[in-house]
Structure 1
């Protein structure tokens, strides 16, 4: 009877393997590959087509592919009408150790009696070819225990990549099991030690460490799990003595996922003593160093988790920050702190871009280098806006035309301003970005921050900063997460200008930011600009801009409702001034007080 593919079988297979799945069209995505277990970067890439049954792992180091029936057979998963996979029957003999094998492993620090006990030998045709037999204890019909060879691995002693195709390989069609299982006894020790290579497990055995085994196919092969799950379950603790590579230990994450009910321990990184694996430690520092590494192995601690008690208290005054040009806002926030993602929103015409450039001026005045991105204004418009805000009303001149008037600065004043913020104020060149085949604004921002010492980034606005594609909400969320990550990683302040969705509410809130809700959720501070109707003394009415704080993670102080900060706009200087009981709050500087000084780049 021919097998008929059922989606329920795919889900049942995933459940047995302990792998999370999710459907996507005709594909069923697996969180990790059953063969190589995948890395964190490659999660959800392994998939099975629910219609055809074809599976594939796209990782170059794995590349497993085939039909679901083959997958089920590889992992001994029973399917109706499909016979289980048949493995090669190996000779029921115990291999005798050869002299070349003893001598080679002895040079690697492994006692000769250990080599003999494990039956490590060499090929009669080639003394350069080591043979590692994998045995499992079995019972015959009479209940007599014997050792059955189920897997064989080969390794070249004098491997030369210019002459040989591979350093290691396995006997085909054999059942993959752990090397050294036949030497393990859970009655003597409830701890199992797993290494990546056979020579590493032999090194542990040579040091007198019990229950040392190794995986058959390296750190990326896990076809052995289904054949050894019951064996591993006999032990209370598993010490994963993987290879130490770039500050992390191989096999650990996969073992935690594959055996969630087993206590996983690992040697401390310092107990590797700068070496890569167990055999290197043995050769350089001896057997005692290996015993110490296993004895002092600690419960695995993910790099992403830390003790709350170890978190140091931080005084906000000690966190680098700069003050805005609005005293009431600074009183509520304390200023803009490094590591923050700040979002400002407001209806059209309320002054979002004006306030954003005001914050840029404030940062420059307090010696914070600034990067400005504008998706709506030309570069010369951004420069003119900021120049006017720095200069102030007294420095700006008015030119009267036939039917209108305009404002300008003298060329000498413009030169003075350019010299003042040269090497400190930068602008994303939109024209150059458009010429790139795959423009990545976030990557360009990171480069600018690292190159020019930028500490304050302004993105005006969110909609023009992203490539919306098919799902604008997804892209907004992804971009906001990247900006949040950059703020924390690079210790900078990022200000997002965002449009609100249409709302009839009396006062806007964080929920009114247009697009993905992740923008508001990820923001440390949310500022809102609005226009409210006011009455004059003579009972006339006018519109006034107000600034609100709708979210504030730093101090928790909100500025809402009648407490919103009233602002007055200067048409001449493009400035927004805070209004209060004492009238307009003056700027702390103007062009006549600005000390022009040359700034030297830090490279």
Structure 2
């Protein structure tokens, strides 16, 4: 008897590209929703969440310090597979990483091993290259310290002579008179940090980070490094001119191993002053 014919299986119904894209979109939206909710539980909240780009907001851990600086950098991948954040205030440094449920932690493993995929490299490639500003004295409109600020320093046992030698000045900034600590290398202006009497700080943006008082250690055999500019001035009053201060205060934590120059952003001022510090 002839073999019974087996009916051919019906061809699978083709799924349109629109159907697949809708499913992918829903899955992506679900992942993004989870990442955002997890960040909110950490205290991170944005007025508007943008994907695939770095955003700045106030850090919930340090609250931006006395200046309420928007120091927390937040990033969420466009596909919602992860989000991360870092506070760039030197005395905070809070950072974290989160993923939606059910997503393997492959990206974190790649990140730790240095094996990033093309998408990760593309994110890095699209980050703007920081251009270092060259400051000019006339642009900052610095002025000699007024009598009130000279008195402010004298109450801290810092003389007018020391202030003049260190080029401590004042400037009107945001409708306030602020103290201006000028950062110089070979007497050339490199950066400027401002301090209000209320101890709120700000700096000229996109300038090279160096130590304050750098020229004072050019020929020094022993070097004293302190936390702030006023500490450096106080050391000079005590007879120690071989002293510099760091530009961003003392950090909350340090790495267990020395990173290379290109990745060591927090201590870039040490790399930039390496020739002064090498024995």
What is the TM-score with the length of structure 1 in the denominator? Answer: 0.23
- Of structures 1 and 2, the larger Rg is shown by 1
What is the TM-score with the length of structure 2 in the denominator? Answer: 0.46
Higher normalized contact order (CA 8 Å, seq sep 6+, divided by chain length) = 2
